[in-house]
Amino acid sequence: MSVAFFGGTFDPPHRGHLGVARAAAQAFDLGTIFFAPVGNQPLKPGQTTTSFEDRLAMVALACEECQPEDTGKHTARFVPSAIDAPQPGGRPNYTVDTLDRFRREMPGEQLYCLVGADSFLSLRQWREPGRLLALAEWIVVSRPGHSLSDLSPLGLTQQQRQRVHLIETAHFDISSTWLRERLAAGDSARDLLPESVARYIRDHGLYRMSSSAGE
Ligand code: ATP
Ligand code: MG
């Protein structure tokens, strides 16, 4: 059985994330996809203001709303994971350490790391890219505005390139940044969010322009 690690800030999780996971599950017949919100994303220092607890709760709701019966004939389970929870002293969470832990905790499993095109194209900025590519096979899903047609800037060896699998047919034109802007402007953005996540955001007053002012 194979498992995939799907990390991100998930601030908030949206239909693009779920679409990416579905596409990967179908293409690679994955058993479980772990959706793991990151405690402190090294490439976005101080930019994530929504708490880890809220992001994990929203990821759990998104996973619950999208279980196997919704994914057709494929049986992948979408599971929320706190493996990338905040570390003592607010230390950054490095994916290389997280994949290392996955490998130790699930030794017999075929491990994939699932990412969108924009994330993968920034791989050279990540800690220990060589070891990252050795620790897991990578599934890279296309994203509007980020072409996967030329991976040469990444300088992958032939052996590394063989561990990178592209899904180039996805076109989910959604980002959490855009969602946060819409939500701050008072739009419920229902079309881009799982129903339960939209409700959580509303009930907890998240992403309002000035949620602390005057309340
Ligand atoms: P933000 O705008 O805050 O960066 P985001 O929409 O990019 O949010 P992240 O939590 O940063 O979401 O992304 C988590 C992972 O999901 C990353 O690997 C990212 O590339 C991928 N991803 C997110 N949205 C899409 C999308 N629409 N298409 C393809 N991949 C996506
Ligand atoms: Mg992003």
Which ligand sits closest to the CA of 118?
Answer: 1
- What's the gap in Å between 7 CA and the centre of ligand 1? 9
The pLDDT, as a whole number, for residue 211 is: 47
pLDDT at 73: 56
Hey, what long-range contacts does 202-206 have (CB within 8 A, 24 or more apart)? 204/54, 206/12, 206/50, 206/54
Which pLDDT score is estimated for 213? 41
Is 210 contained in some domain?
no
Tell me the ligand closest to 38's alpha carbon.
1
- Where the chain has pLDDT below 50, the residues are 70-71, 211-215
Indicate if ligand 1 lies below 6 Å from the C-beta of 175: yes
Ligand 2 centroid distance, CA of 9 (Å) = 7
Q: Given this model, what pLDDT does residue 214 score?
A: 36
Ligand 1 site-directed mutation target among 40, 49, 113, 118, most atoms within 8 Å of CB = 118
Q: How far is the CA of 34 from the centre of ligand 2 (A)?
A: 17
Please check whether residue 82 lies inside any domain of the structure: yes
Inside any domain, residue 215:
no
CATH number, domain containing residue 107: 3.40.50.620
Q: Report the domain count for the chain.
A: 1
Residue 214 domain-assigned (yes or no)? no
Which contacts of 168-171 are long-range, i.e. CB under 8 A and separated by 24 or more positions? Answer: 168/142, 169/23, 169/142, 170/19, 170/20, 170/23, 170/141, 170/142, 170/143, 171/142, 171/144
Q: Whose CA is nearest to atom 8 of ligand 1?
A: 176
Structural contact between residues 19 and 47, judged by C-beta atoms closer than 8 angstroms? no
Q: Note down the domain range covering 127.
A: 2-204
Distance 175 CA to ligand 1 centre (A): 6
